[in-house]
Amino acid sequence: MLRYLTAGESHGRGLVTLVEGLPAGLPVDLTAINEQLHRRQQGYGRGGRMRIEQDQAEILSGVRHGETLGSPVALVVWNRDWDNWREVMSPEALAEPPARPRTVTRPRPGHADLAGVLKFDRADARDILERSSARETAARVAAGTLARLLLRQAGAEVYSHVVRIGPVAVPEDPGNPGNPDSPDSPDSPDGPQGLSARDLAERAEASPVRCADPAASQAMVQAIDEAKAQGTSLGGVAEVLVTGLPPGLGSHVSWDRKLDGLLAQALMSIQSVKGVEVGLGFAAAGLPGHQVHDAIYFEDGRGFHRRTNRAGGLEGGMTNGETLVVRAAFKPIATLYRPLATVDLTTHQAVEASVERSDTCAVPAGAVIAEAVVAFTLAQAFLEKFGGDSLTEFLRNLAAYRRRLVER
């Protein structure tokens, strides 16, 4: 079973990832991991922390001479800002009577501060906010990149782009696989805006907000500037597309093995995500069946396929061979520079919420994190179906399955 754990606090010494279950012999490119960490730090609307941290992963175990050993892989991303927080975040007990430095007693609405303080019986919200911070996602991106390397060996690629920031959204068009008006014909475009998933992602990477639509990208930047001037924040929606997936990943037989449920759980676990859609998603609830379901076709040498992708590549809890299309909705960041009302944990007096260094909008970075958790979930599904203690065994099993699909 492929799984991962992360540890570390936002201003602690570093963030640790432990990944167990990767097959032996998987080539590991540390540069690829660091490239993804760099992508996570980019995007218009990020705050001052990103000018301090230059995230680089260090492999501690599980890899020898560029290949996994089959044993757990441990990675660490050191926090450069640790030097400024040694006293605040020191694991050593404080000498009496000095009070804790930089105590937080004004919980922020929309953050984990208050619920965490009540659950764990703490007096200082910093004990909660340091771990609940989205800084933790650097460790998840590292884990997700290891999974991404396995997916690439299997012929699958993961892409993303931003389709909404605040009030600005990319207009739908007939080429969008999540659009019910996509023409049911062999000439239908492969992806949104008539682009392949790869081309779409390449255009998005050239945008400061990872939006492939130039007009929408410009409007999103303006919306972020306006929100920053008002001391508020903006959320948005990121779409992840995965190509090259065979049909049959996941399962229909039990609720906890359905791949759409597993993907939703992974995406909802990202800080600030409040909604997940697959394919048409919520729009399907308001449409008749003939505008929701994808007709099935067959072609020699290709096998079964669809000419539309309103299902987003998932049916009955399993991949159906089409491009996976999932969207994650991010709420605005909870830290506001024009803070909302709250109640002090100690005095119970009405006060303004605390202000921690934060971003105005993190949706472009959220798209990269969404890629990572989707990649890891799909790698789990691949290994569940095809097994293999070594990469060679895994790829042999996958190749035999693909041949059967074409020959049946």
Q: Could you read off the pLDDT of 269-291 as tens digits, one per residue?
A: 999 999 999 999 999 999 999 99
Domain that holds residue 263: 3-407
Q: What is the CATH number of the domain that holds 284?
A: 3.60.150.10
Q: Report pLDDT for 54.
A: 80
In this structure, the strands spanning 67-68 and 63-64 are antiparallel
- Considering Cα of 81, then 3, then 401, then 398, what sign does the dihedral take? positive
Residue 187 pLDDT class (50, 70, 90 cuts): very low
Q: Is 373 helix (H, G, I), strand (E, B) or coil?
A: helix
91: Cβ contacts below 8 Å, ≥ 6 apart = none
Question: Would you call the peptide bond into 97 cis, given omega within 30 degrees of 0 as the criterion?
Answer: yes
| pLDDT (mean) for 57-79 | 97
- Phi, psi (rounded to 5 degrees) for 333: -60, 140
pLDDT of residue 174: 45
Statement: residue 318 has pLDDT above 60: yes
pLDDT band at 157 (very low <50, low <70, confident <90, very high): very high
Question: Does residue 94 surpass a pLDDT of 50?
Answer: yes
Helix (H) or strand (E) run with residue 262 in it: helix 259-268
**φ and ψ at 178, to 5 degrees?**
-100, 15
Return the pLDDT at 95.
Answer: 72
Place of tokens 């035999």: 400
The mean pLDDT value for 82-101 works out to 83
Tokens for 225, please give them: 């500037």
Q: Give the pLDDT band (50/70/90) at residue 48.
A: low
Rounded Cα distance, 376 and 3, in Å: 8
Distance from the first to the final alpha carbon of the chain? 30
CA dist 316 and 285 (Å) reads 17
Torsion over CA: 184, 190, 195, 200 (sign): positive
Confidence band (pLDDT; 50, 70, 90) for 93? confident
Model pLDDT for residues 107-135, shown as the tens digit of each residue: 999 999 999 999 999 999 999 999 999 99
User: What is the percent of the chain where pLDDT is above 70?
Assistant: 92
Question: What is the total count of domains within the chain?
Answer: 1
The angle, 0 to 180 degrees and rounded to 10, between the axes of the packed helices 363-386 and 30-41 is 140
Residue 175 has pLDDT above 50, yes or no: no
Per-residue pLDDT, averaged over 198-211, amounts to 95
- pLDDT for position 321: 95
DSSP H or E segment with residue 395: helix 391-407
Mean pLDDT, all residues of the chain: 92
Q: What is the mean pLDDT of residues 83-104?
A: 84
Indicate if the pLDDT at residue 192 is higher than 80: no
Which of the residue ranges 43-57, 153-167, 252-266, 342-356 would you say has the lowest mean pLDDT? Answer: 43-57
Question: What digits encode the pLDDT tens for the residues 329-350?
Answer: 999 999 898 999 999 999 999 9
Q: For residue 90, what are the contacts with CB-CB under 8 A and spacing of at least 6?
A: none
Q: Beta-carbon neighbour count of residue 336 at 10 Å?
A: 21
Distance separating alpha carbons of residues 236 and 45, to the nearest angstrom: 12
Q: Residue 182: what pLDDT?
A: 63
Answer whether residue 189 shows pLDDT above 50.
no
So what's the pLDDT on residue 231? 93
User: In one letter, which amino acid is 16?
Assistant: V
